[in-house]
Amino acid sequence: MKNAAPALSAEDEQTIEQLIRSRYDDLSPSDRKLSDVIVAHQKDLATYSATELAQLAGVSKASAARYFKRIGYQDFNEFRTAIRARVSSESPLFNLDRVAQTGDPHPGFTSHIEADIRSLATTLERLDSGELNRALELLKNARRIWVVGYRNGYASAFYAHALFSHAKADVSLINEAASKSADVLVDMEKHDVLFAVDFRRRTRLLPKVVRVAREAGASVVLLTYAPLSDVASQSNVVLHCPTQGSAIFDSYVAAMSIVNYLGMELVTDAHASSRRRMQRIERIHQMLDDLDE
């Protein structure tokens, strides 16, 4: 008898997504419909019953019951328990309370650094080089690059905008549009690329911006902790990186490393034009006398 999938743990934040993705090709058409519904409704999945999910997928309740066993859970209740554990653990407040309740000593700086090293090692092991190359090709050939990342994704998005701007003149950080997002996004066209950063806890705005990009004909490169999600399903390329921190807050060391690599490759590929652009940037800094050397 197949072992039931464990409840989501802090060490394996992708259990549910990985289970579905690893089994997707072997599922029946009705099971795939249910998988698609689960992916599309991940944000509020814990609020649905098995019957409601079955209705959304257009399958029978019996099919839904078999489905959750097929992907490794004893029944829907165990699946929902794992989902709810995930939702709760996405809050730093939850992690703070967990640390306080367990009474465990703080991880210390060494353990903190070791957790970041594990994230980098996992990224090296799991990141698909083909996806990375596809992302680079899209970015290199883009008419215009748009960058977006809200909340915890903002730092990586800001960094991506800064690095990509050394290689290309037309790079826009959508976050800076503030309340004028619609006025800015109207200029998005085919042959553009949206570089989107998706980390928990995501705002409701990100999937909508991705949808606008797809309707405009633009390609989407997604940097995310969740390889299977409603945003990932709309993306041309998905770059997955772990974000598990040492205790309370998520870590974005792996994300920053990926962004740094993409920026380096873009500048190296367009060496001549990048060098001219970077030289001009340096000359303007000298004219402005704005940097303390």
Structure confidence at residue 1 (pLDDT): 34
Structure confidence at residue 158 (pLDDT): 96
The DSSP output letter for 277 is H
Check whether 13 has a pLDDT greater than 50: no
Structure confidence at residue 260 (pLDDT): 97
The answer to whether 258 touches 123, Cβ cutoff 8 Å, is yes
**Directed axis angle between helix 29-40 and helix 50-57, to 10°?**
110
Structure confidence at residue 103 (pLDDT): 64
Mean of pLDDT over the chain: 82
pLDDT digit string, tens, across residues 147-175: 999 988 999 999 999 999 998 989 999 98
Structure confidence at residue 89 (pLDDT): 54
| 197, containing H or E segment | strand 193-198
Structure confidence at residue 32 (pLDDT): 87
Structure confidence at residue 215 (pLDDT): 93
pLDDT digit string, tens, across residues 37-85: 887 776 667 667 888 888 888 999 888 888 888 887 888 888 877 776 6
Check whether 218 has a pLDDT greater than 50: yes
Structure confidence at residue 105 (pLDDT): 62
Structure tokens belonging to residue 272: 């001549």
Using 50, 70 and 90 to split pLDDT, how confident is the model at 287? confident
Higher pLDDT, 224 or 73: 224
Using 50, 70 and 90 to split pLDDT, how confident is the model at 246? low
Check whether 137 has a pLDDT greater than 50: yes
Structure confidence at residue 92 (pLDDT): 60
Structure confidence at residue 87 (pLDDT): 55
As a whole number of angstroms, the distance between CA 61 and CA 63 comes to: 5
Full set of structural domains in the chain with CATH: 15-89 (1.10.10.10), 125-288 (3.40.50.10490)
> Which residue from 17, 19, 71 is spatially nearest to 40, judged by alpha carbons?
17
Structure confidence at residue 155 (pLDDT): 94
**Directed axis angle between helix 253-269 and helix 271-288, to 10°?**
110
β-partners of residue 259 are: none
Structure confidence at residue 22 (pLDDT): 73
Q: How many CB atoms lie within 10 A of CB 267?
A: 19
pLDDT digit string, tens, across residues 88-108: 555 666 666 666 666 666 677
